[in-house]
Copies of this chain bind each other. A is one copy, B any other.
Amino acid sequence: MNPIDTLTQLFEKFPGIGPRQARRFVQYLLVSGQGTRLEIAEVIKNLGTETSQCKRCYRWFVGKSGTCTICSNPARDLSLLFVVEKDADIEPVERSGFKGLYFVLGGTIPLASEDTQKYIRERELLKRAETESATIKEIILGLSATTEGDHTRELLAERLRASGIKISALGRGLSTGTELEYADPDTISQALGNRH
Contacts and interface: CB of A to CB of B under 8 A. Distances in A.
Interface of A: 2-4, 6-7, 10, 13-16, 21, 23-31, 33-34, 36-48, 50-51, 60-62, 84-89, 92-93, 95-98, 106, 140, 142-146, 149, 168-196
A82 to B, nearest CB: 8
Given A4-B47, A146-B179, A192 B171 contact: yes
B169 A172 contact: no
Copies of the protein in its oligomer: 4
Contacts of A2: 50, 62
B143 A180 contact: yes
A16 B24 contact: yes
Q: Which of A24, A172, A182 has the most CB of B within 10 A?
A: A172
A181 B88 contact: yes
Nearest to A168: B195
A187 B177 CA distance: 9
A175 B145 contact: yes
Nearest to A5: B62
B186 A96 contact: yes
A96 to B, nearest CB: 4
A39 B21 contact: no
A47 B43 contact: no
B7 A30 contact: no
8 contacts: A44-B44, A88-B181, A145-B174, A145-B178, A171-B173, A172-B173, A173-B194, A194-B194
